[in-house]
Amino acid sequence: MEISTTTPVAATTGSQKTPPGSGASALVETLVNLGVDTVFGYPGGAVLPIYDALYSENRLHHVLVRHEQAAVHAAEGYARSTGKPGVVVVTSGPGMSNTTTGLLDAISDSIPIICISGQVAKPLIGTQAFQECDAIGIAKTVTKWQTQIQSIEEVIQCTEEAYHRAVSGRPGPVLIDFPKDIQAELIDSSAKSSFREASSSAAISDLDIGQAVELILGAKKPIIYGGGGLINSGTPACDAFARFVRMTKAPCTLTLMGLGAFSGSHPQFIGMPGMHGTLEANLALHDSDLIVCVGARFDDRVTGDVETFAPHSKKIHIDIDPTSINRLVRVDVGLAGDCGEVLSKLIRALEKQARTLPEIQPWWQQIHRWQKVESLKFDTKEDTIVPQALITAIQNATVGTNPIIATDVGQHQMWAAQHFIFEKPGHWLTSGGAGTMGYGLPAAIGAQIAHPDKTVICVSGDASILMNIQELSTAIQHKTPVKLILSNNECMGMVRQWQEFNHGGRYSHSYTEALPDFVSVAKGFGWEAEQVSKPDGLDEAILRCLKHDGPYFLEVAVEKQENCFPMMPAGVPHNQILLREGEFYQDDTT
């Protein structure tokens, strides 16, 4: 065997540093120039040059998470609450592959994320080198764009392009795969990017706007249906939406992802639609003669059976993504463009009309009759806290403070959507399209990093919190005073509910045995923590939680068998709603 006496290329000494003119430094500098101020990540061998460049970079706040999935969820919470893209840095191999669930969540809910994954050195790619993976292949189905940097000359351009692709059009996650040798390579100090942002989509024709105006002016039973695209478009779009709703005097419903785009306390807001939406929202959609859909995509959780969805209505669809229009539900007028811009044009066109909007008072009288059913009403119990009462107690304790609410996924998520009142966009963080358990805590931490002076509350379930419970440590390290309120029913509540309704009550593996002592676990991570199980102690426990200066873990033992209502069973029309146990409401007005 011949033994080489040359120093391996990868070998370094303790005194060496990543050069200031390296590819890694160029990446960091470009991020700063693009306005990035926060990065979520976890280091490893293939991104050490980037972490070395971050070592003395005081313009970027790096948040060390405990799992790469959580890095993406934290970046989502940051992005959703600020309107700016979230940035993630992870190492190669398992570091990159661990982000996949987070990236899936981000693309499902149109959240702008820039994920930078380290990669083995270019000569080793394809050799099954240590911690190598096909990052581009893995990312293709969970990102809207992905690229691998091939040369030092591409670093600045790829970073700029990734940023603009993440935020342009329908926002979403992008991936830059960055080989380690190029990270360490020196870059020409005069290097510049040749990236040019693509021109915006074609203007909407006056004819299309005119057709939409005619439908609005002719409607006797209109409903305005808004979604997460409004939040993504920003505050101006939400302001235009609110103006449009008030102008038309029509009822407004918002999807799970759209909550906060219009004031939840406004009398024109009739609640969330869909599987666990309010009776009045679902029946108004079903009986309407016009649906104006803004920034939503007619998701199956909203439409139910597409063939029977809103059978008597004309439909106008406003969406940034042209491929979303007519994909699931055929519409009469499709307006592809930014929600705020299209709504502004629509408002101006309506204002120019000599005709007044039609009288819809009879429509509102019908809606008020549905509201009197009180579909969100629930019964309390003397000795047990019901989950709806828990959410209502948090809502009452935070009136006027506009906290940021993050949730995990399951029954508690639906109860939170039903019983919290959101007045502004960016205050509701939840996983919609992917339904990702483990989202809530890291998303809350990301939002708290972005808004250190705001109250950020994570509502979680006993099954969901175990998915990313290690992030309790992240909150302590970065001094984020997140309030985590755990609704503990000792089971996977939504799974149990579906098994009860659809599988003959065969509760196959939906109950969790050997749950930890959550209070002790939280205290072990450095959180203040307590448990409450009786209704008469709930309000005071919530106040202690909210008033505490640091992170606080409040475990609330809730009724184990409680089901989430109202419920629109799968595959039925919107006029067939299960209100409560054994109480089925069917509307036959049409």
User: Which of the residues are catalytic?
Assistant: 68, 130-131, 180, 494
Residue 409 to residue 474: CA distance in whole angstroms? 21
Residue 429 to residue 439: CA distance in whole angstroms? 9
Residue 173 to residue 72: CA distance in whole angstroms? 9
Helix (H) or strand (E) holding 118: strand 113-119
What single-letter DSSP state applies at residue 202? P
Q: Examine residue 452 and say whether the peptide bond preceding it is cis (omega within 30 degrees of 0).
A: no
Q: What string of DSSP letters covers 149-165?
A: --SGGGHHHHHHHHHHH
Residue 390 to residue 419: CA distance in whole angstroms? 10
Could you give the 3-state DSSP secondary structure of residue 417? helix
Contact at 8 Å (CB) between 229 and 112?
A: no
Contact at 8 Å (CB) between 227 and 297?
A: yes
Cα of first residue to Cα of last residue in the chain, in angstroms, is 87
Helix (H) or strand (E) holding 73: helix 68-82
CA torsion, points 149, 150, 155, 158, in degrees to nearest 10?
-50
Contact at 8 Å (CB) between 282 and 270?
A: no
Amino acid at position 174, single letter? V
What single-letter DSSP state applies at residue 511? B
Residue 183 to residue 152: CA distance in whole angstroms? 8
Residue 556 to residue 483: CA distance in whole angstroms? 13
Structure-block tokens of residue 280: 């009045």
Residue 74 to residue 71: CA distance in whole angstroms? 5
Please work out, in degrees rounded to the nearest 5, the angle formed at the alpha carbon of residue 399 by the alpha carbons of 562 and 285. Answer: 60
Helix (H) or strand (E) holding 90: strand 86-90
DSSP strand pairing (86-90 vs 38-42): parallel
The count of residues in the chain is 590
- State phi, psi for 253 to the nearest 5 degrees: -125, 145
Please work out, in degrees rounded to the nearest 5, the angle formed at the alpha carbon of residue 457 by the alpha carbons of 101 and 280. Answer: 85
Residue 160 to residue 147: CA distance in whole angstroms? 12
Quick count: other Cβ atoms within 10 Å of Cβ 401?
A: 9
Question: Percentages helix, strand, coil for the chain, rounded to the nearest 5?
Answer: 40, 15, 45
Sheet holding 38-42, edge to edge: 61-64, 38-42, 86-90, 113-119, 173-179, 145-148
- Residue located via tokens 């970065």: 478
> Which residue in 539, 513, 542 sits closest to 530, CA to CA?
542
Helix (H) or strand (E) holding 325: none
> Which residue in 337, 433, 467 sits closest to 142, CA to CA?
433
